[in-house]
């Protein structure tokens, strides 16, 4: 499982979103994320791919994550 982070721009506003990417390798995940950017860039909001990482427990804040940070 992988997680991709995207930077979105609309006028002078910027924000970030993350999406889970189903893929068997990092290369496949990056390819899917780039394709996603192309498909999403049809409106007024500009999508840019920031990065793709392998994620064991994406977007979860649990005891394990808090222990790693302390």
Give pLDDT, residue 60.
81
What sign for the dihedral angle of Cα 43, 48, 53, 59? negative
Distance in angstroms (rounded) separating the CA atoms of residues 28 and 53: 12
Confidence (pLDDT) at 32? 96
The answer on pLDDT for 2 being more than 80 is: yes
Record the pTM.
0.80
Tell me, what's the pLDDT at 38? Answer: 94
Dist CA 4 CA 55 (whole Å): 10
Instruction: Please give the pLDDT value at position 65.
Output: 79
pLDDT in tens, 14-63: 999 999 999 999 999 999 999 999 999 988 999 999 999 998 876 788 88
């Amino acid at each position: 499982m992988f997680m991709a982070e995207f930077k979105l721009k609309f006028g002078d506003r910027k924000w970030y979103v993350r999406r889970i990417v189903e893929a068997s390798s990092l290369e496949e995940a990056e390819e899917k994320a780039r394709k996603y950017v192309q498909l999403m860039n049809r409106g007024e909001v500009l999508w840019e791919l920031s990065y793709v990482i392998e994620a064991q427990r994406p977007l979860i804040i649990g005891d394990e994550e808090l222990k790693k940070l302390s």
